[in-house]
Amino acid sequence: MFGVPQNWRLESNGTLTHMYATDEFKAAIAYIRKLYAAGIFYPDTFSEMSTQAKNNFIAGKYGGYRDGFAALIAERLGVMKTDPTAKVGLLIPFAAQGGKPVSWLASGNFGIAAIPSGIGSDRMKELLRIMDYLCAPRFSIEGSFLANGIDGWDNSVVNGTKTPNATGQKEIEDLAYIGNGVPVLYTPLDPQFALTEQGYVRQLVAMGITDPTLSLYSPTSTKQTAVLTQLFNDRFLRIVQGTNAVSTVGGFLTDFMNNGGSQILKEYEQQLQKSA
């Protein structure tokens, strides 16, 4: 809504500005604080687990929540079982204060599966063939097995669609996420909704921005990620819940820089200069 950069903003002179240093970030934090103070947040927002959030949304306890794009169809169908007239969809960011909304585009991968460099060529070829199998297209025989397991054992047919049962939910997950084929929008229980999802994607891509450091590597960032994430979470919650004043938002940048941010910035800008 406020156009906050995705972690970093690349300036015209080739330098980087962290999002904590931007007016957009400060305005966004202040707005979230206003929403919380007005009672817009669900009371258990900061303590409930992911499954609880999904179930509460489906039960109609609140009007919206944050989740991955893939969860949209399941939650939509869950809500419509309770209220067939409900209209459930994706909230496309809208502009705040006449600005320009943005959508943070993902990196293109969720994680990395690596093969050790010290193995022999025959073993390397074998592992690559296994990875090919794990990345099978969604509707191939291999892809169907990775997603649904063994027919009649890991899944059951519900309304004409293979659906993992309790056994499948325990056995399939790791197998399905080591590697992945290209994701697809597939909504067999609500066929036309896939077209709606495509429309959402078009809008998000049109307003999408990327992190300019996405292809760069900072050893300090890797080392300090957990510390910096915890610093953000702590300070964010204290401001939103009113423990700290909104004016203390400047501490985000100070703490970031003092806990590795200065070195991270240096490492990224050095790489940008070399590639210029």
- DSSP line for the chain: -----SSEEE-TTS-EEEGGGSHHHHHHHHHHHHHHHTT-S-TTTTT--HHHHHHHHHTTSSS-----GGGHHHHHHHHHHH-TT----------STT----EE---S-S------TTS-HHHHHHHHHHHHHHT--TTSHHHHHHHH-SBTTTEEEETTEEEE-HHHHHHSHHHHHSS--------TTSTTHHHHHHHHHHHHHHTEE--TTTT---HHHHHHHHHHHHHHHHHHHHHHTTSS-GGGGHHHHHHHIIIIIHHHHHHHHHHHHHH-
The pTM is what?
0.81
Report the domain count for the chain: 2
* 80 and 50 in a common domain: yes
Residue 77 pLDDT greater than 90, yes or no: no
Q: What percent of the chain has pLDDT over 70?
A: 99
Token pair of 210 as six digits: 């990327």
CATH of the domain at 260: 3.40.190.10
Asked whether the predicted pLDDT for residue 200 surpasses 80, the reply is yes
Q: Is 162 inside a domain boundary?
A: yes
Q: Are residues 97 and 13 in the same domain?
A: yes
Same domain, 221 and 86: yes
> Is 60 a member of any domain?
yes
Tell me, yes or no, whether 189 lies in a domain.
no
The domain boundary, picked from 162, 179, 196, lies at 179
Mean pLDDT of 228-246: 94
pLDDT at 63 over 80: yes
**Residue 91 shares a structural domain with residue 153:** no
**Contact predicate 213/265, CB 8 Å:** no
Same domain, 12 and 143: no
On whether residue 200 sits in a domain, the answer given is no
Give a yes or no: residue 236 inside a domain.
yes
Same structural domain, 96 and 145:
no
The type of residue at 107 is S
Give the structural domain span for 71. Answer: 8-107+208-275
Asked whether residue 3 is domain-assigned, the answer is no
Higher pLDDT, 208 or 81: 208
- 163-173: pLDDT as tens digits: 888 998 888 87
**φ, ψ of residue 44 in degrees (nearest 5):** -95, 15
Q: Is residue 2 in some structural domain?
A: no
Taking the CA of residue 254 as centre, how many other CA atoms within 13 Å lie in the half-sphere pointing to its CB?
Answer: 5
Same domain for 143 and 100: no
Q: Tell me: do 23 and 92 sit in the same domain.
A: yes
Whether residue 21 is found in the same domain as residue 93: yes
Rounded to 5°, angle at Cα 17 from 19 and 2: 35
Instruction: Report yes or no on 114 lying in a domain.
Output: no
Binned at pLDDT 50, 70 and 90, residue 95 comes out as very high
pLDDT tens-digit readout, 38-61: 999 998 888 899 889 999 999 988
Half-sphere exposure of 50 (CA within 13 A, CB side): 4
Do 26 and 60 sit in the same domain of this protein?
yes
**One domain, residues 20 and 144:** no
Residues 100 and 125 in one domain: no
